[in-house]
Chain A
Amino acid sequence: MVKDPRAPQGAHRIVPVNVPTPVLVECDGAGAPLAVGLQADSTPAGSRQLAVGSPPHPRQVAAIQSRWRIDDEWWRDRPVSRLYYALLLEDGAVVTVFQDLEDNTWWQQRY
């Protein structure tokens, strides 16, 4: 028997990959990152809230390898304006973080 053809089907999801996760960053007077507090367990993907839980262990920045800015989607309610940093940490790890220039929050994201 054919089901009610006008019954709406449920929406199917498209999930973005590599959404940024919040990160705590300590900055110097010029706004450049000095230390990064990486969460062991990040908040759910897509969340725009800072992670709440045990305070992350701050890791000192040994060097800023690169810095670049992207401005996009300026026509939307929430434009994208980010300042990315590729950071070499004291333990040799390299992480990419960005400062959201719209609300001055910090996020970690693979670029």
Chain B
Amino acid sequence: MLIACVLIKHFSFQVEAEAMPHLAGREVLLISREGKTPAVAGTSPAITDVPAGTPLSEALARHPLALQREADLPAYRRRFDEVLDALEAVSPLVEENPSLRRGSGQALGSGRAELGCAYVGLDGLAELYGGMTKLLQALQEVVSPRLEPRFGIGPGRFPATVAASAAQPGQILEAPPTLIEFLAPYPVEVLPVPWETVARLKRLGLTALGDIARQKLGPMETQFGPGGRSLWEMARGIDNRPIFPRQQELSFEGRVDFPVATVSLETIYLAVENLLVQLYGKPELWGRYARLALLRARVSRRPTWERKVAFKEAAGSAQTALRMIKHAISLYPPSGPVEDLSITLHGVTGEAGRQTSLWTDVRRQDQLRETLRQLEARLGVRPPIYQYRDAEPWSRIPERRRVLIELSL
């Protein structure tokens, strides 16, 4: 089973550095305030002794001059999803590694999977791409070099991971056939096991993978139980864990950009309504219901605002979803001026569950939709038709009072 490991060390920092290249080379701490006390969610490569999850006070004691930035966890997640999507364009077998090594400076806080490591199944693809070289080249090309990805190739996840961690940014390193010799010099810290196990290995004098590989299987199993076999096998380069590809979930996303960052809830509600009408107007969603809406907003100079709204009853129309989303936003509004807003509908189901009324404005909507189609056919482009809506009618700034919203049915 040939596997590629795509490793982006300090992923959260790399995402920040993509937008702000001047951060490169500096000591940066990315701070998460999701827990009870502020903690480090990621660091720049210049900081190697502050694992993710370290309390901020402790991190500052070690690096008092480090630049502190608020971690934008949803943005990191979104960027990593983009990486995974890009990898899926090369191979259908792509799995995100949920348990990257601790202390790599990229964990995203408790309860969240660590980002920056993915596995790609390569079996049978070389012929499709005209050879292994071209396949690996395709893999390299889909991940932005600005993220400094490292690629490791091996006959299993573990050897591929070790190869990737030894590779230089942008480089592909293939584990040699003599896996035991290749892995032998690496410290036991590279094993994907809890730190207690690592400490125990060290107490037994097993500090490098070569030390484990030289043992017989029996004593390892005696000491470590069933996990002993796994340790022994990994130290010898044997890792038969298959790749579980990501589940493809049907979801629908819409986004709106605000011309001027807004703090007005009325304007945000308008945007939400507009997006929901667009999403529920999609033919793929006709007659279907959504169970969850994920709202994301880019907030000026603040981390991304994110809110999950689970519908108690699956929402089959824009109006139903709007009511629940408005309520959720009013309870937890964005923390600053909103620059854009996106809504993703998840948990789409085909079950109606209830009979809709005959006497709605469906016919009117159909007529409008038909008119728009005719116009589009005649003009050759999508007709620029807008709705005129009140946004902040009370505003002292005239251009904030009313807006035109693209009409979509």
Which residues of chain B are near A10, meaning CB under 8 Å?
255
Check B284 against A3 for contact (C-beta < 8 Å): yes
A73 to B248 Cα, complex, angstroms: 43
A3 to B405 Cα, complex, angstroms: 25
* Stretch of A12-20, A28-36, A57-65 that contacts chain B: A12-20
Closest Cβ–Cβ distance, residue B223 to chain A (whole Å): 45
Instruction: Tell me if B403 is interfacial: C-beta within 8 Å of chain A.
Output: yes
Closest Cβ–Cβ distance, residue A68 to chain B (whole Å): 9
Which residues of chain A are near B257, meaning CB under 8 Å?
11-14
Which residues of chain A are near B251, meaning CB under 8 Å?
5-6
Instruction: Tell me if B91 is interfacial: C-beta within 8 Å of chain A.
Output: no
Which residues of chain B are near A73, meaning CB under 8 Å?
397
A13 to B387 Cα, complex, angstroms: 11
Check B259 against A46 for contact (C-beta < 8 Å): yes
- Please provide the chain A residues from 1 to 58 with a CB less than 8 Å away from any CB of chain B in the complex: 2-3, 5-6, 8-20, 46
| A12-B401 contact given A2-B250, A6-B85, A72-B396, CB 8 Å threshold | no
A15 to B250 Cα, complex, angstroms: 31
* Stretch of B96-104, B149-157, B271-279, B304-312 that contacts chain A: B271-279
Check B397 against A15 for contact (C-beta < 8 Å): no
Among A6, A13, A46: residue with most chain B CB under 10 A: A6
Check A17 against B404 for contact (C-beta < 8 Å): yes
Which residues of chain B are near A8, meaning CB under 8 Å?
253, 255
Which residues of chain A are near B275, meaning CB under 8 Å?
12
Query: Chain B: interface residue count, which band?
Result: 35 or more
Which residues of chain B are near A77, meaning CB under 8 Å?
300
- Please provide the chain B residues from 363 to 409 with a CB less than 8 Å away from any CB of chain A in the complex: 386, 388, 391, 396-406, 408
| A5-B271 contact given A14-B258, A18-B402, CB 8 Å threshold | no
Instruction: Tell me if B340 is interfacial: C-beta within 8 Å of chain A.
Output: yes
Which residues of chain A are near B274, meaning CB under 8 Å?
12, 14
Instruction: Tell me if B169 is interfacial: C-beta within 8 Å of chain A.
Output: no
Closest Cβ–Cβ distance, residue B131 to chain A (whole Å): 28
Instruction: Tell me if A101 is interfacial: C-beta within 8 Å of chain B.
Output: no
A27 to B400 Cα, complex, angstroms: 28
| A20-B399 contact given A5-B251, A8-B255, A15-B386, CB 8 Å threshold | yes
Which residues of chain A are near B259, meaning CB under 8 Å?
13-16, 46
Instruction: Tell me if A109 is interfacial: C-beta within 8 Å of chain B.
Output: yes
A50 to B248 Cα, complex, angstroms: 51
Which residues of chain A are near B400, meaning CB under 8 Å?
16
Q: Which residue of B lies closest to A10 (CB)?
A: B255
Among B85, B396, B400, B405: residue with most chain A CB under 10 A: B396
Which residues of chain B are near A17, meaning CB under 8 Å?
388, 399, 401-404
| A76-B300 contact given A12-B275, A46-B259, A70-B396, CB 8 Å threshold | yes
A82 to B155 Cα, complex, angstroms: 68
Check A16 against B284 for contact (C-beta < 8 Å): no
Closest Cβ–Cβ distance, residue B261 to chain A (whole Å): 7
Closest Cβ–Cβ distance, residue B332 to chain A (whole Å): 20
Which residues of chain A are near B270, meaning CB under 8 Å?
14
Check B255 against A11 for contact (C-beta < 8 Å): yes
Q: Which residue of B lies closest to A68 (CB)?
A: B396
Among B261, B388, B397: residue with most chain A CB under 10 A: B397
Instruction: Tell me if B269 is interfacial: C-beta within 8 Å of chain A.
Output: no
**Chain A residues within CB distance 8 Å of chain B:** 2-3, 5-6, 8-20, 46, 70, 72-73, 76-77, 80, 109-111
Question: Which 8 A-B pairs rank lowest in CB-CB distance, beginning with the nearest?
Answer: A15-B404, A17-B402, A11-B255, A16-B399, A19-B399, A70-B396, A5-B250, A12-B406
Given contacts A5-B248, A12-B278, A15-B404, list 9 more A-B pairs with CB under 8 A: A9-B253, A10-B255, A11-B256, A13-B405, A14-B257, A14-B405, A17-B388, A17-B399, A17-B403
CB<8 Å pairs between A and B, sample of 28: A2-B250, A5-B250, A6-B248, A8-B253, A9-B254, A11-B256, A12-B256, A12-B257, A12-B405, A12-B408, A13-B257, A14-B267, A14-B274, A14-B404, A15-B403, A15-B404, A15-B405, A16-B391, A16-B400, A17-B388, A17-B399, A17-B401, A18-B401, A72-B397, A77-B300, A109-B399, A110-B398, A111-B398
